[in-house]
Chain A
Amino acid sequence: MARNKERGTPEVSSGSMADIAFLLLIFFLVTTTIANDKGILMQLPPPPEDDQPEIEFQERNIFKILANSNDQLLVENEPYNKPMSELKEEVKAFVLNFGNPDQEGIDTYNSLPSQMKVKAKQSPESSDHPKKAVVSFKANRGTSYELYIDVLDAVHAAYNEIYGERVGITSKEFLELDQSKDVEKRMYQQARAGIPKAISIAEPDK
């Protein structure tokens, strides 16, 4: 009895602490859903106005992609069965064609690194210069969303690779540029100068 009194503060057994913590840990492990707020960012055009004048584009400045309800693609008026990486290269070649550049286009061309200048085919049937180039994508109401995203992804990849290559980084690094940092923002602006990301999503056919 005397021994009990001597022990002033009885110790709390902490042996089961680990078990309790484990239990809680497992509960949170199971309930956790790591939020993935990632996706393809797009800007929709403003709503159509009635008195809007029709803007005319020359045929050569538009890269047409059509998709029907059977998920078949028509690219530049020809059926398309090649993989999406191929489509990406074609979009890249189209944007960087420099067929008939104006002064601004020549300036853009001169700002490109030499390995990209080689890619300019200057074909008269393709885009005049990047500022005029428009990639138009029209889906059908029956087209699957999966294909739509695939095509959109390929077109975005083409542009992002162009931007990345201009400043010497990969397309992935370009996407991760943080606009709140001065250096990275300048890099972003430098990459995008003169080459707007002109992707036109047409309203689908019925």
Chain B
Amino acid sequence: MSKFKKKSSASQDIPTAALPDIIFMLLFFFMVTTVMREQEILVKQLLPKADQLSKIQKKSLVSHIYIGEPKNIGTYGEEPRIQTNDVFMEPDELTLFVNQEKDKLTEAERDRITMALNIDSEVKMGIVSDVEQTLRKSNARKILYKSVRGVDK
């Protein structure tokens, strides 16, 4: 019995004075790491799983291309589409996009541009290869197949 008595006599209050500080710290962490999406992705994006992932060294050199089935099937149909920035594109229009992206970089960096292909895993290879062929022609030959780390197969 004496055990219980001791417990009840001890102070039960947890000091909460430091709580705001802790919360603020977390808050700042999330504020700093948050990247607000500057564009709305209009296609489905379920990235494939892979294991051999490399990190991008310099983020400013990366341009994103999204491919997948449109989320709004009623308006855009079921066929996979290519999205860059806010618009849908045909594969052969990508040259223009590549050139626009290259213009944003300095002369020395232009050859090192990396195209990140965010492709939904349900897409068939046909459209992917069309995109690749255009990228080859427009001389943006470094590509990154975006994928997430998968479980061991």
Residues of A119-157 at the interface with B, using a CB-CB cut-off of 8 Å, are 139-146, 148-150, 152-153, 156-157
Contacts of B23 in A (CB 8 A): 18, 21-22, 25
Beta-carbon contact of B54 and A46 below 8 Å: no
B20 pairs with A157, CB closer than 8 A: no
Interface size on A, residues (CB 8 A): 54
Query: B55, A37: Cβ atoms under 8 Å?
Result: yes
Is A200 an interface residue when CB atoms closer than 8 A count as contact?
A: no
Which residues of chain A are within 8 angstroms of B139 by Cβ–Cβ distance? Answer: 47
CB within 8 Å of A: which residues of B?
A: 16, 19-20, 23-24, 26-27, 30-31, 33-37, 48-57, 59, 62, 114, 116-117, 119-126, 128-129, 132-133, 135-137, 139, 141-149, 153
Q: Is the CB of A141 within 8 A of B124?
A: yes
Q: SS class of chain A's interface: helix, strand, loop or mixed? A: mixed
Whether the Cβ atoms of A39 and B54 lie closer than 8 Å is yes
B35 close to A143 (CB less than 8 A): no
Q: Contact check, A145 vs B51: say whether CB atoms are below 8 A apart.
A: no
Are B50 and A153 closer than 8 Å at their CB atoms?
A: yes
Which chain A residues lie closer than 8 Å to B128 at the CB level?
A: 145, 148
B35 adjacent to A35 (CB under 8 Å): yes
Majority DSSP secondary structure for residues of B touching A? mixed
Chain B proximity of A52: nearest CB distance (Å)? 13
Q: Residues of A with Cβ closer than 8 Å to B?
A: 14, 17-18, 21-22, 24-25, 28-29, 31-47, 69, 83-85, 139-146, 148-150, 152-153, 156-157, 160, 171, 175-176, 179-180, 201, 203-204
Residue of A32, A142, A152, A180 touching B30 (CB-CB under 8 A): A32
CA A144 to CA B80, docked complex, whole Å: 12
A149 touches B129 (CB 8 A): no
Residues of A within 8 A of B33 (CB): 32, 34
CA A149 – CA B19 in complex, angstroms? 47
Is the beta-carbon distance between A32 and B124 smaller than 8 angstroms? no
From B16, B36, B48, B119, residue with most partner A Cβ within 10 Å: B48
* Cβ contacts under 8 Å, B124 to chain A: 69, 141-145
